[in-house]
Amino acid sequence: MALALSFMNAKASPSRSISGHLRGALNACRHSWKLVSRLALDIALPTLCVACREPVDGEGVCAECWAKLSFIAPPFCPRLGIPFVYDPGPELLSMEAIANPPAYARARAAVRYDDVARTLVHALKYQDRTDLAPAMGRWMARAGRELLAEADVLVPVPLHWRRAWGRRYNQSGALARIIERQAGVRLACEALRRVRPTEQQIGLSRSQRASNVQGAFKVASDRGADIQGHRVVLVDDVLTSGATADACARALLRARAASVDVLVFARVVDTHKAPI
Ligand SMILES: [Zn+2]
């Protein structure tokens, strides 16, 4: 079509030189080729479900995987966001929140950390699937709307530079950027730093996890103004024992944050401990 139009224009303007017409026709050709190749690419690469890789309408996960994701909804512990099997009434805390109160005030998660959630987290973290961040971030913004409504600043859990070197980007930062756009809360990306490298938390006991990350985080000396007196929402991909979030919250509170809440994509829910 673009090519035909170009020739019509050529007839309508006899004063243009032949080379000018040729150039026009060539550009039109290039343009339509671009369109054709883009179309071909769209046909060749349908959007795939992020979890099972089956073709899917729109973005994110297919209906089957969506059904397998366990979105966390009330009733849950107002402190830790752990889902309750039955509603114990408002303001009643979970046993975990009473036995092991964390340094942060409240935690919320979009989903339980199960098979589909693990696939999403691993794809985002290790396979450079940055295209997953928008859907995951939106689910987080929804799960954390109560915290975000009161927040002044978002702080992603930082990677140590040595680990960031091997991995191209920080998955918590990618999620926080989506939440920033969704909730309109300012993002302070480099405010919290990892001041010493830590072992991977995988395979460590609860107390090992806590000592592994103790003192590992610090608010950068030139970024104190981003934190002091502000209500912070700390952003991470997964909450397991809560040791990392706790160490980060302590660092933020030492830098005089007014409060620290935690928002993650997925949290481990210990089904053995859940009330019947
Ligand atoms: Zn799927």
Whole-angstrom distance, CA of residue 116 vs CA of residue 111 = 10
CA of 56 to the centre of ligand 1 (A): 8
Q: Cα(118) to centroid of ligand 1, in Å?
A: 13
Cα 150 to ligand 1 centroid, rounded to whole Å: 35
What percent of the chain clears pLDDT 90, i.e. is strictly above it?
50
State the pLDDT confidence band at 207, using cuts at 50, 70 and 90. confident
Q: What whole-number distance in Å separates Cα of residue 150 and Cα of residue 199?
A: 34
Distance in Å, CA 201 to ligand 1 centroid: 28
Q: Which two tokens stand for residue 172?
A: 């918590």
Burial class (CB in 10 A: 0-12, 13-18, 19+), 180: buried
Q: What is the mean pLDDT of the chain?
A: 83
Look-up of token digits 């030492």:
254
Give the pTM: 0.79
For 85-119, how does the pLDDT look when each residue is reduced to its tens digit (9 = 90+)? Answer: 888 887 899 998 999 899 999 999 999 999 999 99
**Mean pLDDT (whole number) for 227-256:** 96
What single DSSP character describes residue 90?
T
CA 95 to chain centre: 28
Confidence at 45, pLDDT banded by 50, 70, 90: low
Instruction: Give per-residue pLDDT as tens, 120-134.
Output: 999 888 887 888 899
- Please tell me the distance between residue 64's alpha carbon and the centre of ligand 1 in angstroms: 6
Residue 243 and residue 116: Cα distance in Å, rounded? Answer: 23
The tokens for 256 are 């005089």
Ligand 1 center from residue 134 Cα (angstroms): 17
**Sheet with 231-239: strands ordered across:** 107-112, 259-267, 231-239, 153-156, 186-187
Contacts of 106 (CB under 8 A, 6+ apart): 78, 79, 80, 81, 147, 261, 262
Residue 202 Cα to ligand 1 midpoint, Å, equals 26
How remote is the CA of residue 59 from the centroid of ligand 1, in Å?
11
Cα(116) to ligand 1 centroid in Å equals 9
Query: Concatenated DSSP letters for 51-75?
Result: TT--B-SSSS--HHHHHHS-B--SS
Handedness of CA 14, 19, 20, 25 (dihedral sign): positive
pLDDT of 11 higher than 50: no
- What is the Å distance from ligand 1's center to 216 Cα? 37
Using one digit for the tens of pLDDT, what is the confidence trace for 170-190? 899 999 999 999 999 999 998
In the reported structure, the alpha carbon of residue 55 is separated from the centroid of ligand 1 by a whole-number distance in angstroms of: 8
Q: 260 C-alpha to center of ligand 1: Å?
A: 35
